[in-house]
Amino acid sequence: MDRLKVSIGGLELKNPVMTASGTFGYGTEYIDFIDLSRLGGIFVKGTTLEPRDGNNYSRMAETASGMLNAVGLQNKGVTYFVQHIYPEIKQYDTNIIVNVSGSSVDDYVKCSERLVDLERIPAIELNISCPNVKEGGMAFGTSCDSAAKVVKAVRKIYPKTLIVKLSPNVTNIGEIARAVEAEGADSVSLVNTFLGMAIDAEKRSPKLSTITGGLSGPCIKPIALRMVWEVYHAVGIPIIGMGGICNWQDAIEFILAGATAIQVGTYNFIDPAASAKIVDGILDYLDRHHILSIDDLIGNLNID
């Protein structure tokens, strides 16, 4: 299985397959369906300094080949995570990475500080790309200056692996990736959801209480793949790719576009064991193509 090992900064992954924040709870919810030790890592629910109720219902809408969500970072806050959730999940034989969100730079710093000393949390993922909150969220990830400010401030207090999750709702994602790399990010993960909208024609009303929400699932895959490929050519740090990944073929495509590792998101709702099947599929692909290590595939696209 060493053939599947990859590293992201100081984070060692037994394989490149992980689950995306907000789509896999804390892992605990999935233990009846999948052996968590088969995964490279689990990105837990978006965590904020203070507890948040999230947005009003309705906050989900199904679309062609995807879904819109406007959950709005519902969570019990970092103190609850440290005291009640961490003790429960710390024994899992996989990497647990906390997805950190905030409404101000100070929020991100204070929340991240609370996670530094947790021995079994080797990394955090800064969510500067949530489209579903009124303040902060995506606003931090859509300009180079504000993205750089958050990363610079968190980098000062967070010595472990720092992953920055980028918004696809920008004109030039490579520029934002370069800005966070310059401030010391160890890795970038992309993409978060695309800003979208759904309307009920009979009722003549938006389907989401927030009117707009985040689009995810297979419908976003080609755009996400293009963005990973652009970022691969813009930065030197490892990339974690996601957006509509459902099977091992999708995962291999992201790796060929330049991702060192991938995350499975919305598809967990369809098949909770999908990520373990993707690990098997990647291994089989390496065998069939006589490839010794997954490293040899990263960004290794044949272009004439």
Ligand X SMILES: Cc1cc2nc3c(=O)[nH]c(=O)nc-3n(C[C@H](O)[C@H](O)[C@H](O)COP(=O)(O)O)c2cc1C
Of 15-23, 82-90, 198-206, 230-238, the segment contacting ligand X by CB under 6 A is 15-23
Binding mask 169-208 for ligand X (x = CB under 6 A): -----------------------xx---------------
Q: How far apart are CA 246 and CA 264, in angstroms?
A: 7
Position 112 contacts ligand X (CB under 6 A): no
Position 216 contacts ligand X (CB under 6 A): yes
Within its chain, how far is the Cα of 93 from the centroid? 20
Q: How far apart are CA 164 and CA 152, in angstroms?
A: 11
From 155, 165, 178, 207, residue interacting with ligand X (rule: CB under 6 A): 165
Position 100 contacts ligand X (CB under 6 A): no
Residue carrying the six token digits 């579903």: 132
Of 105-113, 151-159, 173-181, 242-250, the segment contacting ligand X by CB under 6 A is 242-250
Q: How far apart are CA 36 and CA 28, in angstroms?
A: 9
Binding mask 254-273 for ligand X (x = CB under 6 A): ----------xxxx------
Which C-beta is closer to ligand X: that of 46 or that of 206? 46
Smallest distance, Å, CB 190 to ligand X?
8
Residue nearest to ligand X (CB): 22
Smallest distance, Å, CB 220 to ligand X?
5
Smallest distance, Å, CB 83 to ligand X?
20
Rg (CA), the chain: 18
**C-beta separation of 60 from 67 below 8 A:** yes
Position 41 contacts ligand X (CB under 6 A): no
H-helix or E-strand spanning residue 145: helix 144-157
- 297: which 2 tokens? 């595939």
Cβ contacts of 178 within 8 Å, gap of 6 or more = 144, 234, 235
**Could you tell me the CA-to-CA distances from 202 to 59, 69, 213 in Å, in that order?**
19, 21, 20
Smallest distance, Å, CB 44 to ligand X?
9
SS3 content of the chain, % helix, strand, coil (to 5): 35, 20, 45
Smallest distance, Å, CB 27 to ligand X?
14
Q: How deeply is 158 buried, as exposed, middle or buried, from its count of CB atoms within 10 A (0-12, 13-18, 19+)?
A: buried
Binding site for ligand X (CB under 6 A): 20-23, 45-46, 69, 71, 73, 99, 127, 130, 165, 192-193, 216-217, 220, 242-245, 264-267
